[in-house]
Structure 1
Amino acid sequence: MDVIPSVCKNNGRRKVSKDVEMDIEYLYEAVPQLSTVFHIRDKIGEGTFSSVYLGEALMADGRKEKFALKHLIPTSHPVRIAAELQCLTVAGGRENVMGVTYCFRQNDHCVIVMPYMEHQTFVEVIGLLSFEDVRQYIYHLLKALRHIHQFGIIHRDIKPTNFLYNHLEKKFALVDFGLAQGTADTQMELLKDLSGLCRTPRAVFGERNLNSCAPARTIDPTVELVKPSKTEDPANRRFISIPRRPLPVRTPVNNKRTNPTVNLGLTCSCHTTDRVCNVCMSRKQQVAPRAGTPGFRAPEVLTKCPNQGTAIDIWSAGVILLSLLSGRYPFFKASDDLIALTQIMTIRGSKETIQAAGTFGKSVVCSRELPRQDLRTLCETLRGRRPSPDDEATPQDYRDSPVSAGPADEPSGRGGSEDDRGLAEVGVQDERGWNQVPDEAYDLLDRLLDLNPATRITAKQALEHPLFAGL
C-alpha cells in the first residue's frame, strides 16, 4: 500500500504546510465527528489507498493522548475495509501487531483510529544498529508474522515502513493490513471473501449486502435503454423503451497486428529458447495476486504463481534481514518484475531460480548462468569489511551490482583519506558487534530467502532458530 510515515520527533512539532492544512480541513468536513474528539496536528503518512494523520484527544483523566488516524480513500471496497478492521480487531493489540481503538464512518469515508507509536524511519537507524539490534529487530518481526499467520492472514506488504520501530524504547508494531488476504484455512471470514474462498456473499457494516454482484433492479432483456440526444432539454429527459433488434454482423476494421490463429493442440516450441512462439502468444494472460512493494516481492509473486501463501511474507522478512546485514536499503530496486527476478538471480543463482520456479509450475529462461553468491561474503563486502572481488573472478561485479546505494555509500563528511575513513568505519562497526556476526545469522538468511516457497522456513520455525537462543 506504500503508506510512508514521516520522521516522528519526540520533542517538537514541524511546521504544517498549506497542503497538509487543506487535507486536514477536508478530513474534518468529510467526517465531522472527528472534530468533537480529535485535534488533528499533522499528516504523517500517505499512500495509494489511504492517508495517516496524527490526532490528539483529551482523555477523561485530563491527559492528552496521541492517536494515528488512517483515512481510507472513498473508493475502497466495503469488504476490503471491513477485512482490514477484522485483522486489526482479532489479531491486533499483541505480539507486535498494531491494534485498533475505534472506527469512524461517514457516508463513503472511513477513518480507522489506532494507538500512536513514536518511531524512527528505517533509513535513519539502519546505519546505527548493532548486530544485537538487528537480531532483536528480526526476532520481533518474525513474532508478529507467526501471530498473524496463525489466524490465516497473509499480510502481503511486509517492508520496513510497515513495521514501526522505536529504537530507543525497543518497541515494534506491524501495521497496514490493507492488502491482506487469507489462506485456505483462514479464520477471517471477510478475508475468505477477498480470496474468493467463500461463495456466499455476506453483508458488511450491518447494511444490505454491498458485496453482492446482483443488480439492484431487474431489467427486461428484450428492452434496451436509449440515451436522449445532447440537444434535448435536461429537464425533460426520459428513457425510451424500444424492442431490441439483433445487431448486424460487421467485419471489424483493425490496423493493429493480431496474433495468428493457432491450433491449441500444438505443443509449445519455444521452451528453453530466447523467443516466444505463436502457441504461447495465443494463451490468455494468467491472473494472479501481485500485491506488495517492488523489491520485497517473492519469486512466486514475480512469476504470477496463482497459489501464494504465508511464505511470501517470510521472503519479504528475508529481504529486510539482507538489508540489515549488508547495510544497504533498499537492497533491491527494480522498475518491473522481470528485472526484479533478474536481481534475485544475481544473488541466489540463475540455475537455482529456474529449478525453484519449476516446483511451482513456472518456466524461467536466463540468457546466461549467474552463480549463487555466498551471503556472508556478499554482506561483508557491501559493508566494506572485505575487499570487492576482481571483475574477472566473478560475473557479479559488486561495484555495479543490482542493489541500490544505501548508507554505506554516503560520504561521511569527515576529513582524511578514504582509507582512514574506511578504517574508522570498520572500527565503529566492530564496536557494534559486526566483527562477530555468527554463521547462524547467514544460515537463517539463507532459509528465509529460500527460492522454493514449499521448503521456505516458516515464522514459527524461524523463531526456534539457533540465532535467537536466549530470546
Structure 2
Amino acid sequence: MSSGDNAEEIEKLYAAVPRLCDIFCIMQKIGEGTFSSVYLATARLKSGEDMKFALKHLIPTSHPTRIAAELECLTVAGGEDNVMGVKYCFRNNDHVVIVMPYLEHECFVDILHYLSFEEAKEYMFNLFKALRRIHEFGIVHRDVKPSNFLYNRHQKQFALVDFGLAQGTPDTKIEQLKVLQIKKQESCSQNKPHTISGNRLPQNIPVPRDLVLPPSTKQSVKRLWSHSEIQINQGVKVKEGLLGYPSQRSVFGERNFNVHGTVTNKNPTVKAIKQSKIDVESTKLAPKKTIPTKTPSDGVAKKSVRSILASTPCECFARNQVCFVCLGRSRQVAPRAGTPGFRAPEVLTKCPNQTTAIDMWSAGVIFLSLLSGRYHFFNAPDDMNALAQIMTIRGSKETIQAAKTFGKTITCSKELPAKNLRTLCESLRNVCSASMQFAEQDELQRMRAELQIQILEKEDGWFDHDTHTASLPGSTHKHESQAESMDIEQSNMNGWDRVPDEAYHLLDRLLDMNPATRITAEEALNHPLFHIV
C-alpha cells in the first residue's frame, strides 16, 4: 500500500470520526479484516508519555448488534489470559472505532521455520489459555488462526483478537450474543432481511482524562477532506474506503494489502422488450386461464414429499450430475463463518449444532503447521475439497463415522487410511529444512562474495583509511552480525529432532473428527505435553 493511499485513508477516518483528531495521532494502516481496518496510533498520556494504540474501524454496514457483541466480548472476557481487551470506543453516525492496546507482533509465516520446539509448545499453551478464558464465558470465537493470535516473540506476549464473528453457546454469559442467537432464529424462521437501526449504540464516550494531546500535534493531525463522488463502473477494480463498498480483504493482523476485489454496478440495465404483433380479435376470444387456488392439502402434500425424499437414498454418487432426490431436499442452513483451511469438519458439513470444539479444531490446524513447518497446511477452493483434504490425513472411515454422530452422511469413492501424524509431520519438516539449508548456503556464498569485494576495495584505497572503523554497508562488521544472528536462529531449531510422543497425542486429540470427543481447552492445558520437565 502506497504512502499516498495510506494518508488518504487516515484523513477519511479523521473526517468520519472527528473526535479522534483531539486524542490520537494516527501513524499508519497496519492491517485489514473482513469487516474492519486497523490503524496504529499514538496518544499523549497525562504523564507526558506517548503510548501506542490499535484503532479498529468497523465498516459502516456492520450490524449494530454485532458491533455491540464484539465490544461486550472484549470488555467482559478481554484483558486477561492472553485475550485482547478494549480501552475506549468512539462512534459517529454509523462509524465505530474500537481502541485497543497495541501489541507489536511478528507475522506467523515469517517466524515459522525459526521457532524452536519449546517456543512452539509455549505458543500453543498460551493459545489454550486464551481459548479456555473465552470458552468459560460461553464465547465461540469461530475464526481462530495465527493472524488472530498476535505473538511477540521477544517479549513473550500473546493476544487473541477479532471477535467480529463470535457466537454464543446456549449458556453464554455475553448478553449481546444471546440477542444474536434470537435474531438468527427469527431470520431462519421468517426468512426476512434484518432492518438495521443506527441508534442501538451509545454516542461518543467521553474523552478519557488521562489522554492529552499537545496543541502542535493537534494541528498536525487535523486535515481538511472534501467528500468527492466515486464512480463505480462495471468490472473496474476499486479499493474499499469508508463508504462500505465490498472487496476481498486480507486477514486482521497481517501486513498484506495486495488483495483487492472488484465492485460491479448492481443497477440492472433496463432493456426494452420488442413484443411480437398479436391479433387483437384472437385475444378477445381466447378463454381466460384459471389460476388454481391453494388448498390446505398442498402443505400436507409437500411435507409428505419432503419426508419421502429424506428417507430416499441418493442416486448421484459417482455420477457427474445431481439426482432428483438431492434436488428435492430442503437446504440446511448452518453457520459456516471462519477462514478456509481452519474450518472444522462439522462446519464444512453444515452441522447446525456447533460448539466451542470448532475453536479447538482450528488450534489443532495451527499445531499441525508448527509441527510440520507447512503453512497454510490446508488450502482448498471450497468446503467439499477442504473436507477431502482432511479425509486424506484423518482417513475416510474415521470421517464417515464422525459425520454420522452429528446426522450427516458422507460417501467416498475409495477408502483412505489415516496417516501417522508423526511420520507426516517429520517428513514435511525435513523437506522444509532441506529447502531452507539450500537458501542459507546461497546466502553465505553471497556474503562471502561481497566480503571479498570489500577487501579488494580496501586494498585499492576506494575509501578513506581513517574511517575504516565505521559500519559501512556490506562491511565486515555487518557480516559478522549477520553470521551471529544466523547462529542464534540455528540454535533455535534445537528440539525438533526430539519431539515427544505427547505432542502428537495432543495433535491427534485436537484433530478428532468427532466434536463430542475432541479435547477441550481446559483438558489441553492439563495435557502431559506441558508437564514434561
- Summarize deviations over 1:279-305 as a string: whole Å, max 9, x none: 221112111000000000000000000
Against the structure 1 CA distance between its residues 26 and 461, is the aligned structure 2 distance closer, same or farther, given a 3 Å change threshold?
same
The whole-number CA distance in structure 2 between the counterparts of 1:192 and 1:182 is 7
Give the C-alpha shift of residue 204 in structure 1.
3.5
Give the C-alpha shift of residue 45 in structure 1.
0.6
- Summarize deviations over 1:233-257 as a string: whole Å, max 9, x none: xxxxxxxxxxxxxxx9889xxxxxx
Q: Look up the match of 1:412.
A: 439
Against the structure 1 CA distance between its residues 193 and 303, is the aligned structure 2 distance closer, same or farther, given a 3 Å change threshold?
same
Helix, strand or coil at the partner of 1:148: helix
Aligned ranges for residues 221-260 of structure 1 at < 5 Å?
Answer: none
Where structure 1 has 5 or more consecutive residues not aligned to the other structure, the ranges are 1-14, 208-247, 252-260, 386-405, 417-423
Give the C-alpha shift of residue 273 in structure 1.
3.5
Answering whether residue 461 of structure 2 is matched by residue 465 of structure 1, we say no
Give the C-alpha shift of residue 428 in structure 1.
4.5
Against the structure 1 CA distance between its residues 407 and 50, is the aligned structure 2 distance closer, same or farther, given a 3 Å change threshold?
farther
Give the C-alpha shift of residue 263 in structure 1.
3.8
The whole-number CA distance in structure 2 between the counterparts of 1:39 and 1:335 is 40
Against the structure 1 CA distance between its residues 28 and 367, is the aligned structure 2 distance closer, same or farther, given a 3 Å change threshold?
same
- Within the candidate set 410, 414, 419, 1:364 is matched to 410
Helix, strand or coil at the partner of 1:372: coil
Helix, strand or coil at the partner of 2:441: coil
Give the C-alpha shift of residue 197 in structure 1.
7.7
Against the structure 1 CA distance between its residues 100 and 430, is the aligned structure 2 distance closer, same or farther, given a 3 Å change threshold?
closer
The one-letter amino acid of 2:21's match is S
Tell me if the contact between 1:429 and 1:435 (Cα under 8 Å) persists in the aligned partners.
Answer: no
The whole-number CA distance in structure 2 between the counterparts of 1:430 and 1:94 is 29
- Within the candidate set 410, 428, 438, 1:382 is matched to 428
Against the structure 1 CA distance between its residues 463 and 408, is the aligned structure 2 distance closer, same or farther, given a 3 Å change threshold?
farther
- Summarize deviations over 1:60-93 as a string: whole Å, max 9, x none: 0111000000000000000000000000000000
Give the C-alpha shift of residue 277 in structure 1.
3.1
Aligned residue pair count: 380
Tell me if the contact between 2:116 and 2:492 (Cα under 8 Å) persists in the aligned partners.
Answer: no
Answering whether residue 389 of structure 2 is matched by residue 354 of structure 1, we say no
- Summarize deviations over 1:8-47 as a string: whole Å, max 9, x none: xxxxxxx961111111000000000000000000000112
The one-letter amino acid of 1:460's match is E
Answering whether residue 185 of structure 2 is matched by residue 185 of structure 1, we say no
- Within the candidate set 132, 137, 154, 1:151 is matched to 137
Aligned ranges for residues 217-366 of structure 1 at < 5 Å?
Answer: 263-264=305-306, 265-266=308-309, 267-270=311-314, 273-275=317-319, 276-366=322-412
Name which one, 1 or 2, has greater alpha-carbon Rg.
Answer: 2
Q: Look up the match of 1:77.
A: 63
TM-score (norm 2): 0.67
Tell me if the contact between 1:328 and 1:408 (Cα under 8 Å) persists in the aligned partners.
Answer: no
The whole-number CA distance in structure 2 between the counterparts of 1:105 and 1:374 is 52
Aligned ranges for residues 387-466 of structure 1 at < 5 Å?
Answer: 412-415=439-442, 428=490, 432-466=494-528
Q: Look up the match of 2:35.
A: 49
The whole-number CA distance in structure 2 between the counterparts of 1:168 and 1:291 is 33
- Summarize deviations over 1:304-343 as a string: whole Å, max 9, x none: 0000000000000000000000000111111100110000
The whole-number CA distance in structure 2 between the counterparts of 1:415 and 1:121 is 24
Give the C-alpha shift of residue 368 in structure 1.
1.3
Answering whether residue 95 of structure 2 is matched by residue 109 of structure 1, we say yes
- Summarize deviations over 1:188-215 as a string: whole Å, max 9, x none: 11001212389899984259xxxxxxxx
Larger RCO, structure (CA 8 Å, separation 6 or more) = 2
The whole-number CA distance in structure 1 between the counterparts of 2:180 and 2:424 is 40
Moved >3 Å (runs of 4+): 197-204, 248-251, 261-264, 406-411, 427-431
The whole-number CA distance in structure 2 between the counterparts of 1:85 and 1:114 is 11
The whole-number CA distance in structure 2 between the counterparts of 1:139 and 1:48 is 27
Helix, strand or coil at the partner of 2:182: coil
